[in-house]
């Protein structure tokens, strides 16, 4: 019997991994894919070259493994559960890309280095998850190395993230003596991921035989303390983002990853309802809806294609269907939607809510776009962050200004940079969150459009989207600041300020003007 939509939704988990660089995200990703049979492992992840230029952690895997995984999503199946793992770039210069990706997941694994605890980027990404009520499963990695005290790590997570922690497993030793994990609730052990099942034991003292003699007694006492000292795992509190189950292990040594997969299938939510302007859309709603959270160009160097990654929010997306693009109200045929696995792409005949598919297109789709099977609705919440660096683009060949304009427009639609067109007719300004984005822009303008460019400081360093209750107030402000106003890709006005000081000054002088640093895409822009 074919699978119903409800059944298909129930067995899907769409998630991302968040961590500070070096905590082990790449290694863990590789191990998860290995479990899903998505890759055949030939060795361990080796030296990381060019870390700075690594846009995607998966590019690293690709270089090291010689397989093609340069994609934003990887789908794999384990034990009848379909996992969609979304990649988030490792480098903070691409943070806005990461934030957009997090709008498309239902859960996240937070990887912590056992020697380092909560690091700055972990904290930042966690905060984004919290804003979006994304439940978090914690993985304390690198237990095979010298690690901090286990209780101390738990306390730090609890305090820094204001999150109730519940250890689900307890490390058996650490560093050289790390032997596996003890499952606190089940009183069972798993010494490595190659063990499929858990082995029941009669309490922690039995386990400690794996440890050097002088560590045994203390370990058994600590494990008893852990059993009594933490709240019972409450799935509801986890789903609401108040509680995190914590697992220990070593991704490198194949330890603890199997538990993590089980945690995802047992506790992480099936595709969640998504908020649109006119209503909340349940995943099991039979009408198809989806939104674009990422656009990737040049995935295949032989074809100059652009893939829009969409998260299906409800119903089924079928190959060949016609979808309505909310921004324009026009229909577009979805002739070749694709699934991504580690070493191949595959045409997606049917994708269910929770799935992520790539839609090849030639610029019709932009980040934040909503697709439906007819209904006029727009999903909220793919954010646009006020850039922190503003630059003017200087062309080496001034005759190519028109081509540059088109190229910048495309780059902005893909989310590579943001583009602001000043009202006074002066040259366009590009805005980015991190300097590496400018490098990517420069490289791509040269390689793809034959446009060598350089960047010049703009007179401005801060920008804010502006709006007002009364349109007349907005118009007045705009005409009074003509030289400091630009329009973004959607034609929305932004105020450009020289620095934070002048921004504050202007905003105090014009209290009727709202100046915002985060814009949700296409707010109230349903055609
Ligand atoms: P990232 O994507 O979060 O940046 O981290 P990545 O997986 O690349 O791991 C960072 C480093 O930590 C790598 O070492 C990796 O091998 C190591 N690592 C990851 N997980 C574990 C673990 O569980 N235990 C131990 N001991 N190490 C782990 P590297 O020095 O950059 O590369 P390599 O030459 O050692 O492979």
How far does residue 22's CA lie from ligand 1's centre (Å)? 6
Most confidently modeled of 49-58, 118-127, 477-486?
477-486
Given a cut of 60, is residue 284 above it in pLDDT?
yes
Share of the chain above pLDDT 70, in %: 89
Short-list 4, 49, 5, CA closest to 354: 5
> What is the number of the ligand 1 atom nearest to the C-alpha of 60?
8
pLDDT confidence tier of residue 68, bands split at 50, 70 and 90: very low
Given a cut of 60, is residue 14 above it in pLDDT?
yes
Express each pLDDT in 296-333 by its tens digit: 876 665 666 788 999 999 999 999 999 999 999 999 99
**Cβ atoms 257, 249 nearer than 8 A:** yes
Find the mean pLDDT for residues 10-20: 95
How far does residue 253's CA lie from ligand 1's centre (Å)? 11
Residue whose tokens read 């030793």:
173
Asked whether residue 22 is marked as a ligand-binding residue, the answer is: yes
> What is the number of the ligand 1 atom nearest to the C-alpha of 255?
23
Rg (CA), the chain: 25
pLDDT confidence tier of residue 490, bands split at 50, 70 and 90: confident
pLDDT confidence tier of residue 421, bands split at 50, 70 and 90: very high
Asked whether residue 493 is marked as a ligand-binding residue, the answer is: no
In order of 96, 299, 339, 391, 494, the CA distances from 433 in angstroms are 7, 23, 30, 12, 16
pLDDT score of 109: 97
DSSP 121-177: HHHHHHHHHHHTT--EEEEEE-TTS----HHHHHHHHHHHHT-EEEESEEEES-GGG
pLDDT confidence tier of residue 71, bands split at 50, 70 and 90: low
> Which is more confident, 308 or 61?
308
> What is the number of the ligand 1 atom nearest to the C-alpha of 46?
36
Mutational pocket test of ligand 1: of 252, 256, 260, the residue with most ligand atoms within 8 Å of the beta carbon: 252
Express each pLDDT in 445-471 by its tens digit: 988 889 999 999 989 999 999 999 999
pLDDT mean across residues, the chain: 87
Find the mean pLDDT for residues 142-150: 96
DSSP 268-308: SPSS--EEBSS-EE-TT-SS-EEEEEEEEE-SSTTS--EEE
How far does residue 168's CA lie from ligand 1's centre (Å)? 24
Short-list 136, 129, 132, CA closest to 157: 136
Asked whether residue 142 is marked as a ligand-binding residue, the answer is: yes
pLDDT score of 519: 85
Residue closest by Cα to atom 29 of ligand 1: 47
Share of the chain above pLDDT 90, in %: 61
pLDDT score of 59: 52
How far does residue 47's CA lie from ligand 1's centre (Å)? 9
> What is the number of the ligand 1 atom nearest to the C-alpha of 19?
3
Mutational pocket test of ligand 1: of 31, 32, 41, 45, the residue with most ligand atoms within 8 Å of the beta carbon: 45
**Cβ atoms 41, 34 nearer than 8 A:** yes
Mutational pocket test of ligand 1: of 19, 20, 24, 256, the residue with most ligand atoms within 8 Å of the beta carbon: 24
pLDDT score of 443: 86
To the nearest 10 degrees (0 to 180), the angle between helices 120-131 and 95-102 is 40
Express each pLDDT in 94-127 by its tens digit: 778 888 899 999 999 999 999 999 999 899 889 8
Does the pTM of the predicted model rise above 0.85?
Answer: yes
DSSP code, position 41: -
> What is the number of the ligand 1 atom nearest to the C-alpha of 51?
4
In order of 95, 166, 183, 410, 437, the CA distances from 413 in angstroms are 17, 42, 48, 5, 14
Asked whether residue 59 is marked as a ligand-binding residue, the answer is: no
pLDDT score of 426: 87
pLDDT confidence tier of residue 357, bands split at 50, 70 and 90: very high
Asked whether residue 19 is marked as a ligand-binding residue, the answer is: yes
Mutational pocket test of ligand 1: of 16, 17, 19, 22, the residue with most ligand atoms within 8 Å of the beta carbon: 22
Residue closest by Cα to atom 17 of ligand 1: 24
Short-list 371, 135, 74, 85, CA closest to 272: 135
Q: Which two tokens stand for residue 5?
A: 């939509």
Angle at 166 between CA 160 and CA 172, to 5 degrees: 105
160-174, 256-270, 280-294, 402-416, range with the lowest pLDDT: 402-416
Residue closest by Cα to atom 24 of ligand 1: 142
Residues at CB less than 6 angstroms from ligand 1 = 19, 21-27, 45-48, 57, 90, 141-142, 144-145, 250-252
Asked whether residue 26 is marked as a ligand-binding residue, the answer is: yes
Residue closest by Cα to atom 9 of ligand 1: 24
User: Which residues on adjacent β-strands are paired with residue 180?
Assistant: 172
Q: Which two tokens stand for residue 294?
A: 């990422």
Asked whether residue 384 is marked as a ligand-binding residue, the answer is: no
> What is the number of the ligand 1 atom nearest to the C-alpha of 47?
34
Residue closest by Cα to atom 6 of ligand 1: 24
How far does residue 27's CA lie from ligand 1's centre (Å)? 6
Asked whether residue 75 is marked as a ligand-binding residue, the answer is: no
Give burial (CB, 10 Å; 0-12/13-18/19+) of 445. Answer: buried
Instruction: Please give the Cα distance from 365 to 291 (Å, whole number).
Output: 10
pLDDT score of 468: 95
Q: What domains lie within the chain, and their CATH numbers?
A: 15-267 (3.40.50.300), 274-372 (3.40.50.300), 383-523 (3.30.70.3280)
Asked whether residue 20 is marked as a ligand-binding residue, the answer is: yes
Given a cut of 90, is residue 341 above it in pLDDT?
no
Element housing 29 (H / E): helix 25-35
Burial readout 342-371 (b: 16 or more C-beta within 10 A, e: otherwise):
beebeebeebbbbbbbbbbbeeebbbbbbb
Asked whether residue 262 is marked as a ligand-binding residue, the answer is: no
How many CA atoms lie less than 13 Å away from 521 in the CB half-sphere? 28
How far does residue 7's CA lie from ligand 1's centre (Å)? 37
User: Which residues on adjacent β-strands are paired with residue 332?
Assistant: 323
Q: Which two tokens stand for residue 398?
A: 């001034």
Find the mean pLDDT for residues 72-92: 85
Residue closest by Cα to atom 30 of ligand 1: 47
């Amino acid at each position: 019997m074919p699978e119903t939509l409800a059944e298909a939704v129930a067995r899907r988990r769409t998630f991302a991994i968040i961590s500070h660089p070096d905590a082990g995200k790449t290694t863990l990703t590789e191990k998860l894919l290995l479990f899903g049979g998505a890759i055949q492992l030939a060795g361990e992840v080796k030296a990381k070259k060019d870390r700075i230029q690594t846009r995607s952690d998966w590019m690293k895997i690709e270089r090291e493994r010689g397989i093609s995984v340069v994609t934003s999503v990887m789908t794999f199946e384990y034990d009848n559960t379909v996992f969609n793992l979304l990649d988030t770039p490792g480098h903070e210069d691409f943070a806005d890309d990461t934030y957009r990706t997090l709008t498309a997941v239902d859960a996240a694994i937070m990887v912590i280095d056992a020697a380092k605890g909560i690091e700055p980027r972990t904290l930042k990404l966690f905060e984004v998850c919290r804003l979006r009520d994304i439940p978090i499963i914690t993985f304390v990695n690198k237990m095979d190395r010298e690690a901090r005290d286990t209780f101390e790590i738990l306390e730090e997570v609890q305090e820094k993230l204001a999150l109730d922690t519940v250890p689900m497993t307890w490390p058996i030793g650490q560093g050289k003596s790390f032997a596996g994990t003890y499952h606190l609730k089940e009183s069972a052990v798993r010494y490595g991921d190659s063990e499929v099942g858990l082995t029941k034991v009669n309490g922690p003292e039995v386990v400690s035989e794996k440890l050097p003699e002088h560590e045994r007694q203390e370990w058994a006492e600590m494990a008893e303390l852990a059993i009594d000292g933490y709240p019972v795992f409450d799935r509801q509190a986890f789903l609401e983002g108040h509680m995190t189950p914590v697992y220990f292990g070593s991704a490198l040594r194949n330890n603890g990853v199997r538990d993590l997969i089980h945690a995802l299938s047992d506790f992480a939510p099936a595709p969640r309802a998504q908020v649109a302007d006119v209503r909340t859309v349940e995943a099991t709603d039979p009408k198809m809806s989806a939104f674009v959270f990422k656009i990737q160009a040049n995935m295949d160097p032989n074809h100059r294609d652009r893939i829009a990654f969409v998260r299906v929010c409800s119903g089924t997306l079928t190959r060949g269907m016609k979808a309505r693009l909310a921004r324009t109200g026009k229909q577009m045929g979805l002739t070749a939607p694709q699934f991504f696995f580690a070493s191949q792409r595959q045409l997606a005949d049917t994708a269910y809510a929770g799935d992520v598919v790539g839609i090849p297109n030639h610029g019709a789709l932009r980040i934040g776009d909503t697709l439906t099977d007819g209904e006029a609705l727009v999903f909220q919440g793919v954010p646009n962050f006020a850039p922190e660096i503003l630059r003017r683009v200087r062309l080496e060949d001034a005759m190519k200004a028109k081509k540059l304009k088109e190229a910048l427009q495309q780059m902005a639609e893909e989310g590579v940079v943001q583009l602001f067109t000043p009202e006074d007719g002066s040259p366009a300004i590009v805005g980015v969150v991190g300097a590496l984005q400018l490098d990517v822009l420069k490289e791509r303008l040269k390689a793809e459009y034959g446009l060598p460019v350089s960047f010049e400081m703009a007179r401005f360093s801060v920008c804010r989207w502006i709006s007002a209750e009364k349109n007349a107030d907005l118009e007045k402000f705009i005409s009074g600041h003509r030289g400091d106003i630009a329009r973004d890709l959607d034609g929305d006005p932004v105020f450009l300020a020289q620095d934070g000081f002048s921004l504050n000054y202007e905003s105090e002088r014009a209290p009727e003007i709202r100046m915002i640093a985060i814009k949700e895409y296409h707010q109230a822009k349903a055609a």
